[in-house]
Amino acid sequence: MEKNRRGNTLINIDWVTVIIYLLLVFIGWINIYSAVYDETHSSIFDFSKRYGKQLIWIGAAFIIIIAVLVTDSKFYSAFAYPLYAVGILLLISVLFFGVEVNNSKSWFEIGTFRMQPVEFTKITICLALAQFLSSENFSFNKFSKVGLLLIILGLPVMLIFVQNDTGSALVFFAFIFVLYREGLNRVLFITSFAIIALFIFALVTNLEILLIIILFAGVLGFILTNGRSIYSQIVFYCFLLFTVLSILVYNYSDIFTNKPINLVALNTLVMGVLMLVLYLIKKNKNLLLFLFVIIGVSVFVLSVDYLFNNALQPHQQKRINELLGMNDDPLGVGYNVNQSRIAIGSGGFDGKGFLQGTQTKYNFVPEQSTDFIFCTIGEEWGLLGSTLVIGLFILLILRIIFLAERQRSAFSRIYGYGVASILFFHVAVNIGMTIGVAPVIGIPLPYFSYGGSSLWAFTILLFIFIKLDSDRLQIFR
């Protein structure tokens, strides 16, 4: 009897997760209907409208669920790398055979049907990451293994950047939570968020001032950690001397008048060379550490401007500037977010009622059935409905984490955390951009946003884990 139970997917399946999924899909479909409602086509089963097409994709998703659940769990670990390779080939193929939509060449078009391969690549990368991290010889202390890990994650990100789909590329940074769970050094984990904060500061702060702060903080940190040693005194007096000389040169010479950042960069370089010379004399590791911090952080800050102006699309630059308060264009790039916030705010506590949203009915918010679907919930369902939807997403993510922690297989646990991380990033950023606290990067709200690619991909992503969890008693690795 125990043997039969172990092999019976329907008995072991986590129905709590399945029910949450069904609720989210149903609520999403209803809101797509409301977002594009037309009195001349009022039937919810009108397959010429978006909600009718979404219903077809929901039906296809149920067929996909059955296929995923009847597939042997060992298939997902055994074919993780081949599936990853297929995902990479799709990302390459779309560059040559894809069509351009919203300045992004990331879609295949077959007749009237469009498919975005990056959505399915999230699944294959999640599988490959789980397979790689769960291998017996993997360790964060092995440089070669970390290098391969960066290739696994970095290759698809670069291909997606080439497609001009920056929003989708940023999703993969959510895997930092998986890496932390599996043993990534806490300092590196915190450093990754510090880099993000530094990137933001580099955008909103004068670069010269920021470089001076970095140099000053680095020198001060070195002096405090080395006390009254001869090396800290040398660094202190040299820094003081260079600072005075820099002020004199800037005020009484026209060499650096037009580009003061060159003077600051030169000062930083001189201090870096000084620390390098002292390190070669004394072999003091603190000197080398602060050398890397000062030079590395300064180079990163200087590269931000280049990355911002060359890696991001003009509309994405404008949206980030709008978010950071560097631009105020409510009728231009900020129009979508402004109208979305009006819609959500007008919903009040309990909303205007189903099909009663004026912002929705008069199409004030573009992309309301896709990227901005949440504003329909806020307007028609109010705070109560929005809280319910957010609560369901939180419950789903926490449930996945709970299931991941009970896995006997490292592969299943890591994959589960990958699923939770991707869902968390999508939900947090999508809802954040509709209320104006996150940049508009064009990623869908899972199970809500209109589109077959998104729905199918998130369905497969989730139900592979549900399948792995249902077979957890059959330890396959």
Q: What is the DSSP string of 218-278?
A: HHHHHHHHHTT-HHHHHHHHHHHHHHHHHHHHHHH-SSSSS-HHHHHHHHHHHHHHHHHHH
Give the C-alpha separation, 94 to 86, whole Å. Answer: 12
Which 8-state DSSP code applies to residue 144?
H
Residue 206's Cβ-count burial label (10 Å; 0-12, 13-18, 19+) is exposed
Contacts of 81 (CB under 8 A, 6+ apart): 128, 131
Q: Are 387 and 419 in contact (CB under 8 A)?
A: no
Low-confidence residues in the chain, pLDDT < 70? 1-9, 41-42, 187, 191, 200-208, 226-227, 250, 252-261, 284-289, 305-306, 311-313, 315-336, 357-368, 475-477
Work out the percent of the chain whose per-residue pLDDT is above 70. Answer: 79
- What pLDDT is stored for residue 334 in this prediction? 61
In whole angstroms, give the CA distance from residue 153 to residue 72. 26
**Hey, CA dihedral for 296, 297, 300, 305, is it positive or negative?**
negative
Nearest-angstrom CA–CA distance, 170 and 150: 15
Beta partners for residue 104, in sequence order: 101
Residue 381: both structure tokens together: 């369902």
CA-based nearest residue to 27, from 385, 434, 451: 385
Question: Would the pTM count as exceeding 0.85?
Answer: no
Distance CA(53)–CA(46), nearest Å, equals: 8
pLDDT of 458: 95
Closest CA to 239 of 214, 202, 205, 206: 214
pLDDT at 1: 43
Q: How many CB atoms lie within 10 A of CB 201?
A: 16
